Amino acid sequence: MENASRVAAECHGVKVPDSPMITPERAARINAARYEGQEIAGALDVIRPGDHVLELGAGIGLVGAIAAKKARPAKVLSFEANPGLIQHINALYALNDLQHIIEVRNEVLISAPDAPEYLPFHIRNSYLGSSLIDSDKRATTRVEVPTAAYEDVREGFAPTVLLMDIEGGELDFLRHANLDGIRAIVIEFHPEAYGKDGMRTCKAILERAGFAKVPAHCTRHVWTCTFDAEVQPPQPDAGWAVETSTLENALIVPPTEQKFVQPAGVLRADGKYHAAGALWRNGRALTIAPDPPANATATREGTWLWGGVLWMHFGHFLVESTSRLWALNTLQDQIDGVLFVPKRPRNGTEVHEFQKEFISLLAPDMPVECIAEPTKVERLIVPGQGFGLGKMIAGTDAFRAAITADFATDIAPDGPEKLYISRSGLPAGRGNLIGETELEAHLSAQGYAIYHPQNHSLTNQIATYKAAKHIIAAEGSALHLLAMVARPTQHVAIIVRRPSGATRNLEQHLQSFAGITPVTLSQLTRSWKPLGAAKPRLWKGELDMPALQQDLIAAGFIGASKTTWDPLDPSDVQSRLGDKFEEVA
């Protein structure tokens, strides 16, 4: 029964009693359904009758109360660290006769092992800014709040939905939390507490755990996401990466915006997302469920192979756009061609000659098309992602077998025995080695042919790589093509040009596909980047010439010499860089 408390505001049928937290401005926002509106809308969308809802950060109690009243869960368990709010939260529950559904505990729920018995909590004048993190100079009152173990709550309460707004504590919670059994999460991120990188880490943890955004209820700082057993990172030896599915009357939806993570991919005939068509990198889905398009008038008759995302970048094409082509090994005579969507919408239907050439070296005369508008396909075969960056760089057994059995098998070795694969001919800004022209002169004197792969066809590159016995290469995409055609007897050295995980991917690709353990030489005196924010792929590495010479001698790639290679002149390096680069700290 409703108690006698004065009602200060109301939202979604839940009455809010008067209290010191309910200012006139806040009451107006509550009445207009703008107070925590995104979280409330997301919660009402994903909570189902019978759910067990775990709420971290109850605030004034409104979000959890609305969920309890409107979504009809079996139980809501809320945790709130601020002791000053508990009586007002309970008053709100009582006013709306919700005590039998929802309860609040004045504890901090900790997912990390070996949690202390108490944690300090910093109370500010506004309860909205109170936090476990004392991150600024505003006056706070510190109190000690008891903790509870998340694992105990998870086992005893068995939550199926998680609501989280804990003013910056979500990063530490997600790092340790076991999310098994949770079907949906509504979370507010607080980058002011842990920075943009911390927010990206939160999102990456959720994505890697198999949670996909609900687009209608997601913004940059608030996510509503649901667990989908299909939305799991590919594994090289099991699961959907090694399987093939066939869809009747599928719908291919290309991306419409240039973003790193894009809504795009394959929808089934009933409009549901086919998660096995997604592109993953380093455990993160780069394509996520798109909304069904209002109109899809384009149609494609026949049987087609889903190729995925078509990258124009040479290296990403080799590693990510080829990842489903292993199925050509058995399906070549049963399909009408391969269908891609563009990574960049502005590229439209464009397919480069090198892309057509690569696929022709796997399946001669195979049609390749890129789709730039939503298109219904009569029959679409969707192979799993058999290759990629991160864990998938090793490739599945089926992908490696297809490359070994079918790729470029008719191309005979033709080229020098000593080869240096250069980047010096690439445009400035592609990530270069400072001192590479000097290196090339030294290697030429040692009998190495200097090779610029961008000036040659894939067929020429492959013939050249097959012929070489000793290969030295500036770290870059060319090594991915080498890995696909190399032999275990070849000797390969990688000259690192930047601090990057890309080098590890190249090493693993060579090892997994060709049985080659390359010699990786990291001899840079300094690294330089364009002024301001710049991605590592744009950095320039300044070679330590004497140290690099000694490494190459020790590894058997060049002969011993009485003459030491001259170090680069710092003033000359600065002249080459001009005033548009700064040293990387």
DSSP 168: T
Q: Is the pLDDT of residue 430 over 80?
A: no
Q: Which residues of 80-113 are buried (b: 16+ CB within 10 A; e: fewer)?
A: bbbeebbebbebbbebbebeebbbbbbbbbbbee
Q: What is the rounded distance in angstroms from the CA atom of residue 266 to the CA atom of residue 247?
A: 10
At 3, the pLDDT band (50, 70, 90 cuts) reads very low
Assign residue 54 a region: left if phi > 0, alpha if psi is -120 to 50, beta otherwise?
Answer: beta
**Amino acid, single-letter form, for residue 51:** D
DSSP-assigned letters across all residues of 206-231: HHHTTEEE-GGG--SSEEEEEE-TT-
- DSSP-based three-state secondary structure for 55: strand
Q: Is the pLDDT of residue 105 over 90?
A: yes
How large is the average pLDDT for residues 328-332? 88
Position 214 scores a pLDDT of 87
How large is the average pLDDT for residues 461-474? 98
Q: What percent of the chain has pLDDT over 90?
A: 78
Q: Is the pLDDT of residue 249 over 90?
A: yes
Give the contacts of 283 (CB within 8 A, at least 6 positions apart): 204, 207, 208, 233, 390, 391
Instruction: Report pTM.
Output: 0.69
Residue pair 520/507 in contact by the 8 Å Cβ criterion? yes
Q: Is the pLDDT of residue 5 over 80?
A: no
Position 72 scores a pLDDT of 96
Beta-carbon neighbour count of residue 182 at 10 Å? 20
Position 67 scores a pLDDT of 98
| Phi, psi of 382, deg, nearest 5 | -115, 95
Q: What is the rounded distance in angstroms from the CA atom of residue 260 to the CA atom of residue 254?
A: 14
Position 48 scores a pLDDT of 96
Position 405 scores a pLDDT of 96
How do 262-263 and 284-285 pair as beta strands? Answer: unpaired
Q: What is the rounded distance in angstroms from the CA atom of residue 255 to the CA atom of residue 188?
A: 26
Position 212 scores a pLDDT of 81
| Phi, psi of 303, deg, nearest 5 | -115, 125
At 208, the pLDDT band (50, 70, 90 cuts) reads confident
* Relative orientation angle of helices 458-467 and 478-485, to the nearest 10 degrees: 60
303, two tokens: 């049987």
Q: Is the pLDDT of residue 135 over 70?
A: no
Q: What is the pLDDT of residues 13-71, one digit of tens each?
A: 999 999 988 999 999 999 999 999 999 999 999 999 999 999 999 999 999 999 999 99
Q: Is the pLDDT of residue 2 over 70?
A: no
- DSSP-based three-state secondary structure for 444: helix
Q: What percent of the chain has pLDDT over 70?
A: 96
How large is the average pLDDT for residues 434-454? 97
358, two tokens: 């690569």
Give the contacts of 211 (CB within 8 A, at least 6 positions apart): 179, 185, 225, 226, 227, 228, 231
Helices (H) and strands (E) counted in the chain, each on its own, are 17, 31
At 317, the pLDDT band (50, 70, 90 cuts) reads very high
Position 133 scores a pLDDT of 60
Q: What is the rounded distance in angstroms from the CA atom of residue 135 to the CA atom of residue 317?
A: 44
Position 137 scores a pLDDT of 57
Q: Is the pLDDT of residue 136 over 80?
A: no
Q: What is the rounded distance in angstroms from the CA atom of residue 266 to the CA atom of residue 287?
A: 10
237, two tokens: 């030896």
Beta-carbon neighbour count of residue 216 at 10 Å? 10
Least confident of 129-143, 400-414, 555-569: 129-143
DSSP 319: I
Q: What is the mean pLDDT of the chain?
A: 92
DSSP-assigned letters across all residues of 549-566: HHHHHHTTSS---SSPPP
Q: What is the pLDDT of residues 257-288, one digit of tens each?
A: 999 999 999 999 999 999 999 999 988 889 99
Task: Give the strands of the sheet with 244-253, arranged side by side.
Answer: 265-267, 244-253, 375-383, 298-310, 338-342, 368-370
Q: Is the pLDDT of residue 1 over 50?
A: no
Q: What is the dihedral of CA 219, 225, 229, 233, to 10 degrees?
A: 40
Least confident of 111-120, 411-420, 485-494, 554-563: 111-120
Which range has the top average pLDDT, 131-135, 139-143, 152-156, 167-171?
152-156
How large is the average pLDDT for residues 224-240? 84
Position 127 scores a pLDDT of 55
Q: What is the rounded distance in angstroms from the CA atom of residue 488 to the CA atom of residue 481?
A: 15
- What are 120's strand-pairing partners? 144
567, two tokens: 């170090």
Provide the residue count of the chain.
585
Q: What is the rounded distance in angstroms from the CA atom of residue 129 to the CA atom of residue 377?
A: 52
- What are 530's strand-pairing partners? 581
481, two tokens: 């093509």
Give the contacts of 542 (CB within 8 A, at least 6 positions apart): 434, 435, 524, 525, 526, 527, 528, 568, 573
Q: What is the rounded distance in angstroms from the CA atom of residue 377 to the CA atom of residue 298?
A: 9
